[in-house]
Amino acid sequence: MKKLRVGILGLGRAGAFIKSLYLNDAVFVATCETQAEMNYGLKELYGEDFGFYTDFEEFLKHPGGLDVVILGNFFHEHAHYAIRCLEEGIHVISECLSNATMAEGVALVRAAEKSKAMYIYGENYPYYPTYIEADKVYKGGTLGKVLFAESEYNHPLLLPLAEAEKMTTYYLRKFEKHWRNYLPRTYYIQHSLAPLMFVTGSTPKTVTAFPSYNDGMEMGDQLTGPNVKDRAAIVLTQNDDHSVFRVTGMASFGAEDISFRFCCDKGQIENIRGMDDHIMLRYDAGCVPGKEPKYFYKPEITPEEAELVKKAGGGHEGADFRTIREALKYIREGKQYPMDVYFATTVSSVAIQAHRSVIAGGQPFEIPDFHDEEVRKKYENDHDTPFWGSDGSAPTMPCSSH
């Protein structure tokens, strides 16, 4: 089997995938990094022909070529680089937000439709053991049709205000206009929304959202700068199958918690708050497929898989390893990846439109179907963003509700 030649843009996050590449018949041949000091020792590790670049266009021309590029650069700056890869016929694994504006989403879909290469949304949460179990049970059919599902990505990193300000000044001092300093709570939505869509196949069509605002906190959040006073955004979507989702983006309230629940017409499956590596599966009376109406257990993985996850570094309970394994498998087989460019831009559209709903006091906004070129035309010039551009352009919408 030919080993896929992989390049990485942004070693800070995407470097976590390197061991997984070698465990899945791929080789790491080049990287593009703005921090030149990260070049130290790479040739010794990956061979004399390894390429280190600070210019993305030169990176794409690496001798011997690139089959796949993993995008691990700044959260909100993936679309441009994904489009350039697709134009060059290079497969893309985009690790975070696919597009930070609606116009970028339109351009990305158009590029993917023209390209012979594959766009893969590299979201890892569907590959957590508990979500894998929920997917297996739901697709097994015993729960029936989803009516309501919810997921919270609640990830506060709180410190006493003086200490937190010392931590966050890294971004303010080195990158005053860093995306974390202007991150609306709805935008980091992929970890809560994408798994619900992946498991159920439901696609959001309308969104509304409300913020939890706190201007007088005695604690500071290391993950966002002082510009963002919303502690969470509570996002509701009405979906194409008439189900409803309730999700958060990157919330910061209470204790750290990553939880989900799928409520269906015959029963429900959820992970347990406070011990979220365990599953609770319950059925309605009269709908129990076995002898017991309630099951409480921890999903197990095979010893073989556990060993591979360990060799890969174990990131995110093995979800990083599984993300790479599944992505490379679909690339080799030439099959459409379940989380494709339409899936990715839908997640991003919810992020953007939910923030507009927050600003508008909960007004509903549509989630466009980018399969339709006529719909895409409505958004092709929609460049509104809460972030500073790499060219120095200023935000065009506020990053917080107040």
CB-based contact 96:75 (threshold 8 Å): yes
Residue 325: its H or E element: helix 319-333
Q: Is the pLDDT of residue 31 over 90?
A: yes
Q: Is the pLDDT of residue 156 over 80?
A: no
CB-based contact 257:273 (threshold 8 Å): yes
- What's the total number of domains in the chain? 1
Q: Report if residue 350 sits inside a domain.
A: yes
pLDDT score, position 88: 98
Q: Is the pLDDT of residue 327 over 70?
A: yes
What's the CATH number where 215 sits? 3.30.360.10
CB-based contact 257:274 (threshold 8 Å): yes
Q: Is the pLDDT of residue 172 over 60?
A: no
pLDDT (tens digit, 9 = 90+) per residue, 204-263? 999 999 999 987 666 666 677 677 889 899 999 999 999 999 999 889 888 888 899 999
The boundaries of the domain holding residue 349 are 126-302+342-370
Least confident stretch, 12-16, 203-207, 257-261, 308-312? 12-16
Q: Is the pLDDT of residue 331 over 70?
A: yes
CB-based contact 221:394 (threshold 8 Å): no
Least confident stretch, 161-170, 250-259, 303-312? 161-170
List all residues 6 or more positions away from 106 whose beta carbon is below 8 Å from its beta carbon.
370, 376, 379, 380
Q: Report if residue 165 sits inside a domain.
A: yes
Q: What number of H helices and E strands is found in the chain? A: 13, 17
pLDDT (tens digit, 9 = 90+) per residue, 357-377? 999 999 999 999 999 999 999
Q: Report if residue 308 sits inside a domain.
A: no
What is the SS3 assignment for 260?
strand
pLDDT score, position 286: 84
Residue 206: its H or E element: strand 204-213
Q: Is the pLDDT of residue 391 over 90?
A: no
Q: Report if residue 161 sits inside a domain.
A: yes
pLDDT score, position 238: 98
Q: Whole-prediction pTM value?
A: 0.95
pLDDT score, position 279: 96
Q: Is the pLDDT of residue 283 over 60?
A: yes
Averaged confidence pLDDT in the chain: 92
Least confident stretch, 36-45, 74-83, 213-222? 213-222
- The C-alpha atoms of residue 29 and residue 165 are separated, in whole angstroms, by 39
- The C-alpha atoms of residue 90 and residue 108 are separated, in whole angstroms, by 14
Q: Report if residue 269 sits inside a domain.
A: yes
Q: Report if residue 286 sits inside a domain.
A: yes
Q: Report if residue 212 sits inside a domain.
A: yes
pLDDT score, position 155: 83
CB-based contact 264:138 (threshold 8 Å): yes
Q: Report if residue 52 sits inside a domain.
A: no
- DSSP assignment of 29-88 equals EEEE-S-GGGGTTHHHHH-TT-EEESSHHHHHT-TT--SEEEE-S-TT--HHHHHHHHHT
